[in-house]
Structure 1
């Protein structure tokens, strides 16, 4: 069974679970952000935007029941899963149907995942905190190593999420140990992207998301301001990555997104080995000049992807040794 089908089937209702004990889940040191589910207007449209305009390498996926997926994989193990409808009257599971209704059939993302090596401990702790977690699900089948995950029947955050772990040796893109070079080049991108730095959630109340993350074991939030998208909120460390939980501040993209579609994934930040190369690629793709700015992760620029992808992609220069939640942008 395809992982997307399992994940989306569980994201049926929204709400916040209440905890009866202050003890957080032991998550922070063994967990990082990994996985965004991104819907396009069609699978070919979203593939073209990611490859031609943005300079990512897109890998094949599958097309069961009229909903296809493809992958953009990174050297740090994170990835973007692209989704698109390929025929009239596709078969949606309830989670896909909910996504399509929330996105009004347009592009965008409202689901992301945490990867962890402490899946059982986190599941037990969240149960003790009275979070509405699902049972575990495993795949692809019992005869070979795969993945295990759990999700929430009542979402604790303003966007849907899940926790996943992979068995040793699991190869979602057919890794052959005798052909390491092929595996390596699937994570090399013309734009030089290497790593996921953060996922940006937008809602009407950033502090509510911050409080829920702290209960779940992700504390040490740092206040941040993103004037480039008209947002403010908190940077919450998640291992080597971070969640930016944001709300609109004045006029800007964050307010426009909230007004037109409500809470969702507003954007994501990716570190690149050569910011100038990434900037030149995106400027050619969109046929416009783009300005850099001093962002949360240093010198950065925004790709103008909101109309195409329903979310913003930020590229920033990689700076080894910096904090995952450095000081706010000026």
Structure 2
């Protein structure tokens, strides 16, 4: 989600969306350990341009890409899942695009290329999570809210469409924010959107894992614990030559990884530094998803059995700057079972 930062915090954390048009800090409650209500919300993916990243997601991978907006020359689009998780796609659409320091830092890290450096967790106890972060000396920003005239909200008299906070200094190797959403009025248009948006030709149902890559996975593990995300288990991901930790988040996973010898992870870290190396997507029918991706990339792909069951890697790194893992959806598979990723 995009927001304009105050001078005091400008440049200290990454821009979160191209839709956020105004801000209003709100008060935090007394510090207390956060409840176990966090969920993976979304990952922010930059393309070389908005049409390029949209085409890759739709034509090569078989996702349905939904329209967004285009304020100040940075466009966004959405890939929404049935469980409310999603991927937000970004692209610069004009040379004089207005970018705040966070966006400029993102672009400097990506060197104009595709990739991801930021993800969000949804929290239904945002003030409690904010106070806990303060208690842990993690320097959270104030809580910001959507503008009263947010075109996707319910108007000035309704609660703000979303509220969020980030951090003045990133606590992890990639940028993190916490967000919560208001319950909007039910309208025919929204009912139709909620019904249509999660219907993907590749059968995608949920964003189930986000992979953080750095040179020190244990440092990220310790910071996750400070954020109230405990229970990490060791994990190896031989397909990308990485090892680290799996952090469970409400039945899903955050992976803190580091290279485990020569291979994809080592190459990515050397070329791009700390990053979101990949995302896992649960699909209804793995065979259908695999056929679609093989047709999109005109290549045969080899499957494997990972911690979430049968899976395959889509060869998206050159297109998206990160990998997409598709796996068979399972309501019984444990979020973090250790062993092979």
Find the counterpart in structure 2 of residue 69 from structure 1. Answer: 76
Q: Give the Cα–Cα distance (whole angstroms) in 2 for the partners of residues 313 and 167 of structure 1.
A: 30
- Encode CA deviations 1:186-207: one digit per residue, 9 max, x unaligned: 1110000001111000000000
- Identify the residue that residue 129 of structure 1 maps to in structure 2: 136
Alignment partner of 1:144 is 2:158: yes
User: 2:317: which partner in 1?
Assistant: 306
**Which position in structure 1 is the counterpart of 2:151?**
none
From 168, 172, 175, the equivalent of 1:153 is 168
Instruction: Provide closer, same or farther for how the CA distance between residues 307 and 179 of structure 1 changes in structure 2, counting only shifts above 3 A.
Output: closer
Give the alignment partner of residue 116 of structure 2, picking from 109, 112, 124. 109
SS at match of 1:5: coil
- State the distance in 2 between where 1:238 and 1:298 align: 18
Q: What root-mean-square deviation, in Å, do the aligned CA atoms of Structure 1 and Structure 2 show? A: 2.0
State the alpha-carbon separation in 2 of the partners of residues 154 and 131 from structure 1. 8
CA apart distance, 1:25: 6.3
Note if 1:246 corresponds to 2:257. Answer: yes
Conserved? CA contact 2:34–2:132, under 8 Å: no
8 Å CA contact retained: 1:8, 1:96 = no
- CA drift of 1:130 comes to 1.1
1:13 Cα shift? 4.2
Q: TM-score, normalised by structure 1?
A: 0.91
Query: Is this contact kept in 2: 1:11–1:152, CA < 8 A?
Result: no
Contact 1:7 1:151 in 2 (8 A): no
Distance between the aligned counterparts of 2:280 and 2:6, measured in 1? Answer: 23
Task: Decide whether the 8 Å contact of 1:231 with 1:248 is kept in 2.
Answer: yes
Alignment of 1:124-203 (within 5 A): 124-141=131-148, 142-145=156-159, 146-169=161-184, 176-177=187-188, 180-203=191-214
1:221 maps to 2:228: no
Verify the 8 A CA contact 1:60 1:70 in the aligned structure 2: yes
Q: CA deviation at 1:239?
A: 1.5
Unaligned runs of at least 5 residues, structure 1? 15-23
1: CA distance, partners of 2:287 / 2:127: 43
Q: CA deviation at 1:215?
A: 1.4
Cα distance in structure 2, aligned partners of 1:147 and 1:110: 21
Q: Closer, same or farther in 2 for the Cα pair 1:241/1:25, shift >3 Å?
A: farther
Corresponding residue for residue 297 of structure 1: 308
| Corresponding residue SS for 2:69 | coil
Of structures 1 and 2, the one scoring higher in RCO (CA 8 A, sep 6+) is 1
Given the superposition, is the C-alpha separation of residues 274 and 166 from structure 1 closer, same or farther in structure 2, using an over 3 Å criterion?
same
1:37-87 deviation digits (Å, cap 9, x = unpaired): 100000000000000000000000111111100000001101111000111
Q: 1:154 to 1:263 in 2, by over 3 A?
A: same
TM-score normalised over the length of structure 2: 0.88
Give the Cα separation in 2 of the matches to 1:281 and 1:186.
19
